[in-house]
Structure 1
Amino acid sequence: MTRLAALFLCSALAMPALADDLRATGDLGVVVERATGSVLIVDQSEHAAIGRIEGLGDLSHASLVFSSDERFAYVFGRDGGLTKIDILTQKIVNRVVQAGNSIGGAISDDGKLVAVANYEPGGVKIFDADTLAELYHIPAEGKALGLEDAPGRRFVFSVWETGESKIVDFSGAEPKVTTLENIGAEPYDALVTDDGRTYIAGLFGEDGLSAIDLWAEVPEAKKILPHYGRGQEEMPVYKMPHLEGWAKAGDQIVLPAVHHHEVLWIDSRSLEETGRTQVHGQPVFAMARPGGRHVWVNFAHPDNDTVQVIDTMSHEIIGEMVPGPAVLHMEFTSRGTEAWVSVRDANKVVIYDTTSLQPIGEIAAESPSGIFFTARAHRLGL
């Protein structure tokens, strides 16, 4: 190689790619379009949709998780579909229909395993995050719900019919399954606290919740909040609260009450109730703005056009917005400067400034539901 050719080669290797060819993932998100089997790829800074990916099946109750590098999203469809999408190329990488009816999933803390909770045939299936090859089937005698990731390459889920929770540990050569029986009647959803210590399952068949200390040498389930749930003044439930919408703010947790127009305040250490706030309707999500200063709440039908903002110090409502009919989901930008709100029946996502509580942007979307930003890739239980 001549000296001149070598200089040209070194210059080419040192030359950065054109800026127009690069896009970072940290500013991106995915909006589920539940009626059309598609998702929008959105840019937070631009307040814009930058692409649409179609062909994802039944997304009527869809959720997703991100790979640890934020590039790929794993979409869990109600039809049993597990779809891996590339949010940079805006294409489907792989798709498998792994069950007849599924209800969400999780990704392991090392990003290597994707788990899917199934109604039919029941239990949880585990897939290689790179190839989507099925690796394991963890059977259960009923519908698997409340599937969450936990530290140490573990997953935890509950079973509706049998009232049990299972901890599945993949830290060894083969999975180890620990079954905790009689956690309560009809567990329907769950969460893992942000420190990875406590798994909490909601119970539809009885009042109260079930808590499992995942740090314990021998984990056991214990009942907490015995008066949380149906109570004596039972009201119809139009939509069950989502426990992953629990808000953790300092030493407090706020959760949506079942059947009632209230949110409950809980001491995060003792898990005992400390207060209640009357709200606009039956709450579905109670979500903490990053930093924990405020909690945003949306509601079930017929009050689902409204969002309320609660101060976590006073427990008082400080703001109320009406984004439009059928507010389904909210998502904060990573530092909490904005809240993005999906308004299904108005076919739009409304963007709010979280200080002024004023709308600052809007994106057209087809029946939008879940909004997921890539910052979730670095948080437990999401």
Structure 2
Amino acid sequence: MMSHPLRMPLRAAALAALVSLAGCQASPPDALRGTGDLGVVVERATGSLALVDTGDRAILERIEGLGDLSHASVKFSRDARYAFVFGRDGGLTKVDLLRGEIAARVMQSGNSIGGAVSQDGSLVAVANYEPGGVRVFDSETLAPVADIPATWEDARGRRQRAKVVGLVDAPGNRFVYSLFEAGEIHLLDMSGATPAVTRFPDIGAQPYDALIDPTGRYYLAGLFGEDGLALLDLWHPEAGVRRILPDYGRGERRLPVYKMPHLEGWTLAGGRAWLPAVGRHEVLVADADDWSLVDRVPVHGQPIFVMSRPDERQLWVNFAHPDNDVVQVIDTETREVVRTLSPGEAVLHMEFTPRGEHVWVSARDSDRITVYDTHTFEALAELDSESPSGIFFTDRAHRIGL
């Protein structure tokens, strides 16, 4: 068969460009890789990332020198080549997944709790506990762009700075976040020449975490100081914040809370919102249209993450201490627990492969990552990893809020 006359020169030119970009010797074509099968696992005890290949179910290498990763989270650049790591010590690190090395790093605060990448990929925002506020950086260089203090007035009229939690990206190069002590939600618009902040006060006591739905319309903040959640409709922010599920725990004894549940691990499936109950051995089910409570699913312990397989048929749930050696699977059609698994001690996180055929589960105190087949529940691989916690795959680069 005759080849196209331009095909080989184009291939050679593309390979030469890649080699020039990397500044290294030419690699054979089978040594080149994309980023679609890549991900990272946070190894909190050693301040390192395990770079993983989800197709081969293998750890490729480790990237060290990322500081305090005791509550680290990761977001990805628009092209899924870079991982932005938000460390608890205030470090913001940009990691090159193809080179397996740190591309840039700044110490931007004393204590931070996560971040987000803007819709167009040009900005990285970081949520800070100390000092309370949001700092925004250029995603290419990590040069500072904006510093937004999270200020509020207490009952005595004194100006304070609050811890920022639940920071997410929203359409239109906006970011949304909550102020823990103030009981407020702030909407930060970075689409213009200067930052613009819209405040929503009196949303409820102690918002501790938040999420944005997959369409980018609804922002929900969980309330630790009282039962219920606060809902902001970003299509109609002028309508203010609405309280939902205000009395799901009324009249019941609340259990001691050993760990805050993560609302970023909630699920929308089958027209229902599935949420971890605070201080209860339940997963809450709400109608996603009117946000009324429609059911409660009893589970093994206090749920932390309630995560949906991409086809929405299954939910995988992990739990707080002392029940954190178990993962349960809920069938969203029957609303029943269909499988209980024991991946190891102190299960901290789960992540589905992009199409949901596998799920990776980290067990911190067993120094192990287990990969399960989500249809048969067979353990396909066990990977050694020192104190693994958060697992993040590059398909998150193309999803709102993740």
By the TM > 0.5 criterion, same fold? Answer: yes
Q: Partner residue of 2:51?
A: 41
Q: Partner residue of 2:155?
A: none
Q: How many Å separate the matches in 2 of 1:212 and 1:34?
A: 33
Amino acid at match of 2:92: L
* Superposition deviation, residue 75 in structure 1: 0.1
* Superposition deviation, residue 228 in structure 1: 3.8
Amino acid at match of 2:301: G
1:68 aligns with 2:88: no
Task: Give the one of 208, 213, 230 matched to 2:228.
Answer: 208
Q: Partner residue of 2:153?
A: none
Check the 8 A contact 2:344/2:368 in 1, yes or no: no
Task: Give the one of 130, 141, 146 matched to 1:131.
Answer: 141
Amino acid at match of 2:127: A
Q: Partner residue of 2:115?
A: 105
Aligned residue runs from structure 1 range 341-360, under 5 A: 341-360=361-380
Check the 8 A contact 1:206/1:230 in 2, yes or no: no
* Superposition deviation, residue 172 in structure 1: 1.3
* Superposition deviation, residue 19 in structure 1: 2.2
TM-score by length of 2: 0.91
Distance change >3 Å, CA 20–CA 179, structure 1 → 2: same
* Superposition deviation, residue 11 in structure 1: 9.0
Q: How many Å separate the matches in 1 of 2:343 and 2:164?
A: 34
Q: Partner residue of 1:174?
A: 194
1:303 aligns with 2:323: yes
1:316 aligns with 2:326: no
Look up the SS of the partner of 1:375 in the other structure.
helix
Q: How many Å separate the matches in 1 of 2:11 and 2:296?
A: 64
* Superposition deviation, residue 380 in structure 1: 0.4
Distance change >3 Å, CA 23–CA 273, structure 1 → 2: same
Amino acid at match of 2:211: L
* Superposition deviation, residue 271 in structure 1: 1.0
* Superposition deviation, residue 173 in structure 1: 1.3
Distance change >3 Å, CA 344–CA 218, structure 1 → 2: same
1:120 aligns with 2:130: yes
Look up the SS of the partner of 2:380 in the other structure.
strand
Look up the SS of the partner of 1:330 in the other structure.
strand
Instruction: Give % identity.
Output: 59
Q: Partner residue of 1:340?
A: 360
Task: Give the one of 199, 224, 234 matched to 2:219.
Answer: 199
Check the 8 A contact 1:206/1:229 in 2, yes or no: no
Which 5+ residue runs of structure 1 have no aligned equivalent? 1-6
Distance change >3 Å, CA 147–CA 11, structure 1 → 2: closer
Amino acid at match of 2:229: L
Q: Partner residue of 2:284?
A: 264
Amino acid at match of 2:316: W
Bigger shift: residues 204-213 or 214-223: 214-223
TM-score by length of 1: 0.95
Q: How many Å separate the matches in 2 of 1:379 and 1:209?
A: 23
Amino acid at match of 1:90: G
Amino acid at match of 2:95: I
Look up the SS of the partner of 1:218 in the other structure.
helix
Aligned length: 375
Bigger shift: residues 152-161 or 224-233: 224-233
Amino acid at match of 2:395: A
Task: Give the one of 46, 60, 68 matched to 1:50.
Answer: 60
1:19 aligns with 2:25: no
Superposed CA deviations along residues 307-360 of structure 1, whole A, max 9, x for unmatched, are 000000110111111011000000000000000000101111000000001101
1:153 aligns with 2:173: yes
Q: Partner residue of 1:84?
A: 94
Amino acid at match of 1:197: R
Superposed CA deviations along residues 6-61 of structure 1, whole A, max 9, x for unmatched, are x9x95994585622330110000000001110000000111110010000000000
Task: Give the one of 163, 182, 197 matched to 2:183.
Answer: 163
Q: How many Å separate the matches in 2 of 1:240 and 1:91?
A: 32
Q: Partner residue of 1:3?
A: none
Aligned residue runs from structure 1 range 230-309, under 5 A: 232-309=252-329
**RMSD of aligned Cα (Å):** 1.6
Amino acid at match of 2:234: L
Look up the SS of the partner of 1:60 in the other structure.
coil
Check the 8 A contact 1:230/1:258 in 2, yes or no: no
Check the 8 A contact 1:228/1:258 in 2, yes or no: no
Q: How many Å separate the matches in 2 of 1:365 and 1:231?
A: 44
Check the 8 A contact 2:270/2:332 in 1, yes or no: no
Amino acid at match of 2:97: I
Q: How many Å separate the matches in 2 of 1:182 and 1:217?
A: 15
Look up the SS of the partner of 1:345 in the other structure.
helix
Q: Partner residue of 2:388?
A: 368
Q: How many Å separate the matches in 2 of 1:228 and 1:185?
A: 16
Amino acid at match of 1:32: V
Check the 8 A contact 1:211/1:224 in 2, yes or no: yes
* Superposition deviation, residue 291 in structure 1: 1.1
* Superposition deviation, residue 278 in structure 1: 0.5
Q: Partner residue of 2:18?
A: none
Q: Partner residue of 1:31?
A: 41
Q: How many Å separate the matches in 2 of 1:18 and 1:165?
A: 52
Distance change >3 Å, CA 106–CA 14, structure 1 → 2: closer
Look up the SS of the partner of 1:41 in the other structure.
strand
Look up the SS of the partner of 1:36 in the other structure.
coil
